[in-house]
Amino acid sequence: MSESLEKSKKSVLTFKARGYFTAWLVVVVALALLLIWRVNSGLVIETSILNLLTSPKEGSGISATAIAQSSKFNRQMLFLIGHPDKTDALKASELFATQLNKSQLYESVVYKIGLNKKALREYYSPLGYRPLDPKTRVLLKQEGGIEELLEQNKMILYAPMGGLGTTNLSDDPLLLFPRFLQTLPALPKKTYIADDTLLVSGENKTYAIISANLAGNPFTPDVQASALDHIQTSIRDLQAKYPKGVVLYTGIMRFAADSARRMEKEGTLIGWGSLFCVLVLLVGTFRSIHQLALSALSIGVGLLAAIVFSSLIFSKLHLLALVFGVSLTGICIDYSVHYFAYHCVAGSNWNPQAGMRAVLPGISLGALTSIIGFAGLAFADFPGLQQISVFSSFGIIGAYFTVVCCFPVFLRKPIKERKPIILRIAQRILQAWYRLRPTRILGVVDILGCLFLFALVLHIKVNDDVSLLQKVSEPLLANEKKIRSLTSRSDQSRFFLVQGQSEQEVLERLEILSEKLAKSVAAKDLKSFLSLARFIPSKKQQELDRKLLAEVFLKNRLLFSDYFSELGFAEDTLPRIEKLLTEKPTKLLTPENWSDNTIAAANAVLGIGKTAEGFIALVSLTGIQHEENLMAINNTIPGVSYINIVSEINSMMKGFREQATLLVLASYLFILIVLILRYGLRRGIAVMIPPIFAALIALTALSVFGEKLNVVHIISLLLVLAVGIDYPIFFAEQKKHREETMFVITLCALTTICSFGLMAISKTPILHSFGFMLIVGVLSALLLAPYPLLVFDKESAKDNNNDINP
């Protein structure tokens, strides 16, 4: 009779549970369909770290477009083809360049840079024969300047064998064009041209220099793999033909590929290692793979929800945000473990619904606090933090509902009651806490301990250096150093950025900047700079030059007449030149098609780029000596800013870290309020104490080991807090089964440590300290988890006393 009653009771509940399960199944299928639709409509995954850090709201400082522009630098690859014999070096470079060209991996490959005079002449044809270089411009404005110019011309014309092309001499009797060409920026120091190829000598070899621009994004693994493969094959081909040949090459792509490869290698090791540890832990404890499959299901649905909702909210998902998001979602396994532990301990008394009722309050509040903790990050300005927030929150929701709706259906069979080792460990921890009787000094100890830890934490140093996120291997650094010493390349991370509403405005600003930079070069603040303004005068400048020349000519007509007749120019030279200099030209030189010509390629001068806000150009700098003087130029000209990519990124990292810290603090203040509302002031604070202590201990450990705080640590702290707050909540919500709860917490903590703690073996310093902080933090949270019990017991004792003695 009683048996049949029990059975019918169970079946009614199962029916309800089936309803939840069906609802869950519908949602999961819908999510899966949404995912398929999103992937088909082109889900974009970003890998560039800059896009993660770029704040779209930022008004001052570096803008997204500036970074986009600097990506032109990122695509540059430089090859040095060396051989002890110069002729062979030239032949080998030709072979190599042909191979690069054939591969179609490069947008452009430049190795022949002979200054084709015809092309040069044609390019500058709109300038006629009156381009002015800065020196001549100054000379013409001076008192007696024109006399000086004509004197100099005579010397040039009479100079022994100082030959001048005469066909142009009739149109350019003032020799303005050769003057202009002569003052164009020279080739990089130490390099020279032979057989139209840029060469440099060093270490008993002649190196031919080939520069190439990658067609694809240098941060994408596909581009890296195919380009590096192709380079290796080409080097082998080259060395088969020229055994003494060597190839040196560099470019952002090579660094990016190197760090990606090492991250991947390490990531695989850590990933499989973690999986193995969790497997051993779960299978060892539950003696069944049933639990493992269910854990995978809950995490899988969590990730599914996370990816679908993030991709619906953001147009592009960032890889790094995904990685952190996945890590944070990893704490979802705690909800499954909670349920399994009850199942394990219950033995033959197992009732899936009753079990769920027992764990539901704990995991619900745990999930809620975690979501609140992560949701705060959604208010950040940085897309990276927003994505981590959205991803983790939806991940937790997905995993939580899977446990609640699905587990009672799948985990119906009772198992034999056992006492796994972890249960015994849990009991030991709990017993240790029981020995600490609730005392009056408890609060004082808390406050003192908190102050002490806080004092230690204050000593922690901050380091927002982005290079910590990537570690460059020694051989690559040595290679880069060698190439730099051979070629004296321009500094690619420091440059001037010039913005304007139109191309002409950019050119005008470039001209003003060039004037200032010329002074800086004279003051030895830097060795040289390369600006488009030196090659293409703005329309405004062209008009000013024309007026200046016309004025000078009309004022000194007689002088010109004497000059022409003295040297034996044709009779009609004077009227012809008068017409040429005084008439308005029909066409002006503009920066169109700049990048197509050989001077651009030979000098690696970047043209003007178009952005959403207007036009933009870069001025590259070489041999910066006094950066502060260059920074002083910053913003003295409208639209001109000095950019130091490394320090810009570092300051963005700082903003990222500060905002993350503030939002995490705000979230936890909010969580505290939620806890106080639920448990009352004292108990609420008591529940909050373990995670806060755990976070402080982790920070202290960081400080003790001399590590410097950075944004990745803040994210690991977030994880420590999110995990750490669940443990005391499980206790607070579960007044009866303390041993079981401690067992759950111990198991959860160990799985978390296994999952992320392996990062501590990483060679990338930042991942290493992430893992390290997590181990210390979660272990502390585990050991401190029973703390609220002391307060709860004390409070209930008080309540009981009040009950007895009204």
Partner 1 sequence: MTKICLAAPLFKMVLAIFVYCILIIFSFDATAETPQSNQVFNLPVNESNSDTFWQIAKTLNQRRQFQSHFSQEKHIKVLRRPLKSAGTILFSFEHGLCWKTAEPFQSTLSITRQGIFQKKAGGSFQAVAAQQHAVASDITSVFLAVFSGEREVLEQNFMPHLSGTTSQWVIGLKPRSKMIQVFLDAIVLKGNSSITDLEIWEENGDFSLIKFYNQETDVRVFGEEQKECFDF
- What residues line the site for partner 1 (CB under 8 A)? 86-87, 114-115, 117-118, 120-121, 148, 151-152, 154-170, 175, 177-178, 181-182, 186-196, 567-570
- 187 versus 548: smaller Cβ distance to partner 1: 187
Compute the least distance from the CB of residue 515 to partner 1, in Å. 19
Compute the least distance from the CB of residue 209 to partner 1, in Å. 12
- 169 versus 544: smaller Cβ distance to partner 1: 169
- 184 versus 445: smaller Cβ distance to partner 1: 184
For 306, the token pair is 């996370």
**Hey, how many other C-beta atoms are within 10 angstroms of the C-beta on 448?**
11
List phi, psi (to 5°) of 497. Answer: -115, 125
- 193 versus 676: smaller Cβ distance to partner 1: 193
Compute the least distance from the CB of residue 175 to partner 1, in Å. 8
Compute the least distance from the CB of residue 152 to partner 1, in Å. 6
Within 135-240, strands assigned E span 191-194, 197-202, 205-214
Compute the least distance from the CB of residue 488 to partner 1, in Å. 11
Compute the least distance from the CB of residue 82 to partner 1, in Å. 17
3-state secondary structure 473-489: CHHHHHHHHHHHHHHCC
Q: Which residues contact 25 (CB under 8 A, 6 or more apart)?
A: none
Burial class (CB in 10 A: 0-12, 13-18, 19+), 344: buried
- 114 versus 609: smaller Cβ distance to partner 1: 114
176 in Cβ contact with 132 (< 8 Å): yes
Compute the least distance from the CB of residue 656 to partner 1, in Å. 44
- 18 versus 189: smaller Cβ distance to partner 1: 189
Helices (H) and strands (E) in the chain, counts: 31, 15
Q: Which residues contact 533 (CB under 8 A, 6 or more apart)?
A: 507, 510, 511, 513, 514
211 in Cβ contact with 604 (< 8 Å): yes
- 157 versus 415: smaller Cβ distance to partner 1: 157
- 172 versus 648: smaller Cβ distance to partner 1: 172
Distance CA 587, CA 393 (A): 61
For 412, the token pair is 């119906």
- 187 versus 544: smaller Cβ distance to partner 1: 187
Compute the least distance from the CB of residue 380 to partner 1, in Å. 50
706 torsion bin: left (phi>0), alpha (psi -120 to 50), beta (else): left
- 161 versus 458: smaller Cβ distance to partner 1: 161
CA-nearest of 414, 413, 412, 415 to 17 is: 412
Distance CA 546, CA 535 (A): 17
List phi, psi (to 5°) of 378. Answer: -65, -20
Distance (Å) of CA 37 to CA 34, 234, 308, 312, 441: 5, 41, 10, 11, 60
352 in Cβ contact with 17 (< 8 Å): yes
DSSP 437: -
- 14 versus 168: smaller Cβ distance to partner 1: 168
Compute the least distance from the CB of residue 162 to partner 1, in Å. 6
Compute the least distance from the CB of residue 545 to partner 1, in Å. 18
Compute the least distance from the CB of residue 558 to partner 1, in Å. 20
Distance CA 60, CA 634 (A): 12
Distance CA 483, CA 150 (A): 45
588 torsion bin: left (phi>0), alpha (psi -120 to 50), beta (else): beta
